[in-house]
Amino acid sequence: MSTLQTSNPEKNLAAEIRIDIGDVEKGFQEADEIFEAEYEVPKVQQAHIEPHIAVTYWDEDDRLVIRTSTQVPFHVRRMLAPVLGLPVKRIRVIKPRIGGGFGGKQEVLMEDVAAHLTIATKRPVIYEYTREEEFIAARSRHPMRVRMKTGVKKDGTITANSMYALSDTGAYGCHALTVTGNTGHKAMALYVGDGEYRKAPNIRFYADVVYTNTPPAGAFRGYGVPQGYWPLDRHMEKIARAMGFDPIDFRLKNAIHPGEYHPFSTAWNEGREPRPEIIHTVGLEQCVAQGRAAINWDDKFGNEEWRNSWSKVESQKSGATLDIRPSTKRKGIGVAMVMQGTAIPYLDMGGASIKMNDDGSFNLLVGATDLGTGSDTVLAQMAAEVLGVPVEDMICYSSDTDFTPFDKGAYASSTTYISGTAAVNAAKIVAERVRVRAAMMLKLDKHDDIKLENRQAIAPDGRSVSMTEIALDSLHKNNQEQIMGVASYVSPVSPPPFAAQFAEVTVDTETGQVTVDRLVMAVDSGVIVNPLTASGQIEGGMTQALGYAVTEEMRYDDKGNAIERDFDRYHLFRADEMPELETIFVETFEPSHPFGVKAVAEIPMDGVAPAVGNAILDAIGANVDENPTTPERVWRAIRK
């Protein structure tokens, strides 16, 4: 049962969510122990290197051109048309290669200002945000206060799990309902219980999303899910320790299995009516096995000698006397397990078109938006694989509303999955025509058995024609045609990736200073198309999530003025401050995608903060329930 109320301004509510799965109260009655606690997560900024910037001008055909640093060029065109009083056909939006977005460029934010000025002056206009404007006039992550209540049997079975989130959407309610809905949908779905409770889990997610007089929150990589895993996984750690369970075994005992229904699939969907959905691929156990081996978990967890390996230090010299005292530093190790989602089912759509050139190369046109994520390369790789040519034979164009097919934009970890399937489907259409032409040229009765590889169409008898010969034949000789394919794709499912996040920390018990020494993430993102770009996504995500864990926080004074307005006060991790990072891919084959892929972009945001928080608990025996885990908060937790 679910109840969603989009807004109630009289009560200062931007949205209200009430989701009950199973019989939660009955589950609490059947529990042997009940654990309750409250947690808090901060407002943080996307901090993309390139700020919001747009260039607008009239072209030679008296059409308005908008070059903008955006994740959603087609939405920009659609939404600006009525604002500017121009028909869609008189607006062209171009997204050049841009310097990051992370959800912060998922809205139409300032493009209308430059466009209005160009219309008024008939002159080109450039409008660029300052870094201060990014902090006070752009978007951020929703801060939340979250209450957890969990019922557990003596054998470690979760009988009921409840989360209440009070979410701060800022001034305008941007993404208020969907971000906060994801907090429960993606986080609370991971632990369903065991035995009879696995078959019929008892899960509750309630949320109130409120307006405040602060800059609006919006979309930020992870889209509400990092806010859910800080309280959920910190809570799991507390339960395991209080009841004497191994923290990894306790989590895995209650985690969702392949072949089970996503518990929220009948209660919540970001864009359309929810429909039952079975999760087919869950590589979580293998992620745990490989991650714990990589970080040497079994030798470190519970090992006092390792924890106190900063055993003694020279504290002071007094004349000839050497005074030795125990070190104030303690080591700790922590784990978190997470799941995310892949695209928004029945809503996200991507298109692609491919045409063959005279030399056997191909033009690939996609609406998908490359934010520095490497999606142009990955989509070209998949199309090239189908056509049997190297990726350098694919000339990729993306994100120009005049020339490329429609795509809803770069968000929800959907580009490789949604736009990639569109590119593969377009390539299959082209491949079919290539085989037909090759059969004609080789005088074969059938074309189905022709293989495309190494720029050749190869017949079963070993004869072949090259892609160049096929192109010339089709364009200039017999029965001329332009070999071309156009396709689009909408997914009926959202297969979740899974991951096990491990963290090692050193905590100074005298000052509360936390140093993250090592992060290891083992990820089930299906088949990895491009290991280099995928590992870049994981390492970049862990880096961004590390700030969420220990340093980043947007604060306001008593008058509502922002304290952090630049990167001097708002501390991002520098290269020389980074811990050792390790990425491990555990490949499963997701049957809903032609190449077996799942999302990789957002899941690295989810587990770092709770893994670090759990490692701090392991090091000092004290809980910090509010992140970031600043020295003051850690120091106060120790003193308690």
- Tell me the mean pLDDT in the region 350-371: 96
Is the pLDDT reported for residue 309 higher than 90?
no
Q: Which domain holds residue 159?
A: 1-44+144-279
Domain end residue (candidates: 464, 490, 516): 490
What value does the mean pLDDT of the chain take? 95
Range in 169-178, 251-260, 520-529 with the lowest mean pLDDT:
169-178
Cis omega (within 30 of 0) on the bond before 591? no
Q: Are residues 438 and 355 in the same domain?
A: yes
Q: Are residues 156 and 263 in the same domain?
A: yes
Q: Are residues 72 and 162 in the same domain?
A: no
Domain end residue (candidates: 279, 305, 329): 279
| Residues 394, 389: Cα–Cα separation, whole Å | 8
| Residues 398, 391: Cα–Cα separation, whole Å | 16
Residue 122 is part of a domain; what is its CATH number? 3.30.365.10
| pLDDT for residue 314 | 46
Q: Say if residues 352 and 466 touch (Cβ distance below 8 Å).
A: no
Q: Are residues 300 and 407 in the same domain?
A: no
Question: Which of residues 413 and 126 earns the better pLDDT score?
Answer: 126
Q: Are residues 497 and 445 in the same domain?
A: no
Question: Which of residues 274 and 226 earns the better pLDDT score?
Answer: 226
Percent of the chain with pLDDT over 90: 89
| Residues 262, 279: Cα–Cα separation, whole Å | 6
Give the SS3 label for residue 20. strand
Q: Are residues 356 and 481 in the same domain?
A: yes
Range in 11-15, 132-136, 247-251, 379-383 with the lowest mean pLDDT:
11-15
Model pLDDT for residues 384-395, shown as the tens digit of each residue: 999 999 999 999
Domain end residue (candidates: 137, 172, 199): 137
Q: Are residues 256 and 355 in the same domain?
A: no
| Residues 150, 163: Cα–Cα separation, whole Å | 9
| Residues 377, 232: Cα–Cα separation, whole Å | 36
Domain count, the chain: 4
Q: Are residues 152 and 273 in the same domain?
A: yes
- Model's pTM, two decimal places? 0.95
| pLDDT for residue 272 | 73
Q: Are residues 516 and 459 in the same domain?
A: no
Q: Are residues 10 and 113 in the same domain?
A: no
| pLDDT for residue 2 | 66
| pLDDT for residue 312 | 52
Q: Are residues 236 and 287 in the same domain?
A: no
Q: Are residues 226 and 150 in the same domain?
A: yes
| Residues 156, 32: Cα–Cα separation, whole Å | 10
Model pLDDT for residues 575-628, shown as the tens digit of each residue: 999 999 999 999 999 999 999 999 999 999 999 999 999 999 999 999 999 999
